[in-house]
């Protein structure tokens, strides 16, 4: 795993011109090349391989059920998820009638669930159900200015970067949607060691039962391919920004791992070491 300093720097770097050196694939269009490229990025940055999930699973019961620990984890995770959900509204290149219709369905899946529910509120209820003491009010999850005052440097960088990169290209959206099913299963599995009922919370159960994240991943790739068919010149920035977003996700798991490792150090006689 890369160091915390590296992750923070990668996540907080300012937008720049693409630096990706894409090899030539004679006979393949930019659109045709995209799925394999995104899959390769996702494989290199597979969330479930990160130490955070392993350490969370290994926590002794008294530590794993600590309301402050759970609240601190919730704050970081919800802040990052909120940032990506909000950033989806600013995705570029989707202004045609057909693409606007497909974009709207993504909004509905996140923020227009039956009964006026949202993924944000489902996640909040899931952590409340296991006793998490959230350190901020729900209304503090705003456009990022208020929120980042409560966050560590890496998570604050992630929030800022998501807002910037999602509005610049479709690459960050593609890689986040491709990786999200993996990290949601890893998080549910780790939390279930301490709270078996967590997997039945709608935030996890509905997504897993209905394949929401997998469907979103397939749609993000398909929509981006449709854009690249018209604008193959966008492939380089798409891949550059997807890579930057994957680097930032590494920093997010590092930030959450530091929370867990701090709890482990505070209970050094009852648990594993980081």
Number of domains in the chain: 1
Residue 49 belongs to domain spanning: 29-266
Does some domain include residue 58?
yes
pTM above the 0.95 mark? Answer: no
Contact 97, 176 (CB under 8 A): no
Q: Rounded to an integer, what distance in angstroms lies between the CA atom of residue 77 and that of residue 59?
A: 18
By CB atoms closer than 10 A (0-12, 13-18, 19+), residue 217 is buried
By CB atoms closer than 10 A (0-12, 13-18, 19+), residue 240 is buried
Does some domain include residue 260?
yes
- pLDDT averaged over consecutive 10-residue blocks of the chain (274 residues)? 38 44 70 97 97 96 94 96 92 90 78 76 93 81 73 92 96 97 97 96 88 90 96 97 97 96 79 64
The encoded tokens of residue 73 equal 């984890």
pLDDT of res. 14: 42
pLDDT of res. 146: 73
Does some domain include residue 73?
yes
CATH number, domain of 172, equals 1.20.910.10
Does some domain include residue 165?
yes
pLDDT of res. 138: 74
Does some domain include residue 45?
yes
Place of tokens 């209970």: 267
Does some domain include residue 20?
no
pLDDT of res. 135: 79
pLDDT of res. 270: 54
Does some domain include residue 3?
no
Helices (H), the chain: 4-11, 30-44, 51-58, 61-64, 67-88, 97-111, 119-129, 153-166, 171-194, 202-210, 212-230, 235-266
* Angle, helices 153-166/67-88, rounded to nearest 10 degrees: 20
């Amino acid at each position: 795993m890369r160091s915390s300093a590296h992750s923070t720097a990668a996540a907080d770097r300012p937008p720049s011109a693409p630096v990706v050196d894409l090899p030539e694939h004679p006979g393949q269009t930019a659109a045709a090349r995209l799925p394999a490229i995104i899959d390769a990025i996702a494989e290199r940055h597979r969330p479930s391989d990160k130490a955070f999930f392993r350490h969370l699973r290994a926590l002794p019961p008294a530590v794993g059920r600590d309301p402050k620990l759970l609240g601190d984890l919730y704050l970081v995770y919800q802040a990052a998820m909120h940032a990506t959900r909000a950033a989806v509204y600013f995705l570029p290149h989707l202004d045609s009638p057909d693409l606007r219709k497909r974009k709207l369905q993504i909004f509905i899946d996140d923020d227009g669930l039956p009964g006026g529910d949202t993924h944000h509120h489902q996640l909040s209820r899931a952590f409340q159900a296991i006793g998490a003491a959230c350190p901020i009010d729900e209304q503090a999850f705003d456009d990022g200015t208020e929120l980042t005052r409560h966050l560590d440097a890496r998570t604050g960088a992630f929030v800022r970067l998501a807002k910037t990169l999602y509005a610049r290209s479709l690459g960050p959206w593609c890689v986040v949607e491709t990786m999200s099913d993996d990290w949601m299963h890893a998080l549910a599995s780790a939390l279930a060691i301490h709270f078996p009922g967590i997997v039945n919370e709608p935030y996890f159960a509905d997504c897993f039962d209905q394949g929401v994240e997998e469907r979103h991943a397939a749609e993000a790739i398909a929509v981006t391919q449709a854009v690249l068919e018209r604008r193959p010149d966008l492939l380089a920035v798409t891949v550059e920004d997807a890579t930057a977003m994957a680097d930032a996700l590494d920093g997010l798991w590092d930030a959450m791992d530091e929370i867990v490792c701090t709890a482990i150090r505070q209970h050094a006689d009852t648990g594993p070491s980081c």
